Structure 1
Amino acid sequence: MIKPPRQRWLLVLVAILLLTNIATLSIYWFKKPDRDGGFGRDREKRMGQFLVDQMKFDTAQEAAYWKLRDSIIVIQKPVMDSIRNAKKRFFDLLKQPDATDSMLTARSNEIGVLQKRLDSVTFRHFQKVRAICRPDQLQKFDTVIKEIVNRMTPFRRKLGGDSSMKK
């Protein structure tokens, strides 16, 4: 009985590894991404759970928090949808070669008003969450809220410090 050469086994092994790599990569490539770019319910739940975990809420506080969280999401969603639509209308002005500065200003002011509304709603929400904290949790809340706000504004990169401080 003749033994096949070792190179043939190595070639088969490389082919198997290549096929498994292709299969793995195709799973990642063809997997449907989240409709909202990763800002969906799972992310909302993780952000909420982060606060619960950090604050070490008791059962009553946690129940009150999730009730507040559900109500804020119902309020925020239409405002966020309006901001998204306002930004689409703003950038649709690129298609108009005769877009004036007053048109840009009007559309950007619309975005600003909606963003202001969203920020006010979010601020009031965090006030209510702070109100359910015990006195011994308030300092921790104030620290944790800074991290949450940083997570809510991912586009602000720290390049050698806070860019607002350089002005």
Structure 2
Amino acid sequence: MEDVKKIKTLWIAIIMLIAINLSVLTWLWFSPKGTQGQMSPERIERTLNFDNKQSEQFEIIKDKHFAEVIPIRDSIKIMKSELLEYIKQDKPDPKVIDEKMKLLTGKIKENEEKTLKHFSEIRALCNEDQKQVFDNDVLERFKKQGPREKPNP
């Protein structure tokens, strides 16, 4: 009789641990920020449940996108640093600041245009069901995340 109680207790403990693990995994999967607060390419691919052909095309699109935007994002960081260093002067020239801001906003615009094109290309890979998931889940999650320090290729 004593062994039956021990086995029953162990089964209850195992079931509780499984329930806790599933709860944590569900929370990580469905939380708005997800893991590390970013909508990673892996998460997009997993959320859309791409088949093998779509996954291959997604890899090509993803690699091309990051090859284009990493240099742009790096130049944005450099331009911001230069601008901040420039305004440390006692009398910075407003015209120079304006010129630097125009260059910076041009790079930011270029980055956003490439990102928009990237998401359009991903959506074009999707079938009708995946487009619904893309529109209702991926884009909504992406809207909620803040600016990235580093892309997550």
Asked if residue 60 in structure 1 is aligned to residue 41 in structure 2, the reply is: no
Which residue is 1:101 aligned to?
94
Specify the alignment match of 2:106 in structure 1.
113
Residue number among 69, 73, 80 corresponding to 1:76 in the alignment: 69
Higher CA-based Rg:
1
Higher relative contact order (CA 8 A, sep 6+): 2
Q: Structure 2: which amino acid aligns with 1:61?
A: Q
1:88 aligns with one of 74, 78, 81: 81
TM-score scaled by length of structure 2? 0.66
What RMSD over aligned residues (CA atoms) do the two structures have, in Å? Answer: 2.2
- 1:89-121 per-position Cα deviation (integer Å, ceiling 9, x unaligned): 110113211113222222111110000000001
Query: What is the identity, as a one-letter code, of the residue corresponding to 1:58?
Result: D
TM-score between both structures, scaled by the size of structure 1: 0.61
Where does residue 26 of structure 2 map in the other structure?
Answer: none
- TM-superposed CA distance for 1:53, in Å, is 1.1
Q: Does 1:127 align with 2:120?
A: yes
Q: Which structure 2 segments of 5+ residues have no match? A: 1-35, 149-153
The alignment of Structure 1 onto Structure 2 pairs a total of residues equal to 112
Residue 31 of structure 1 corresponds to none
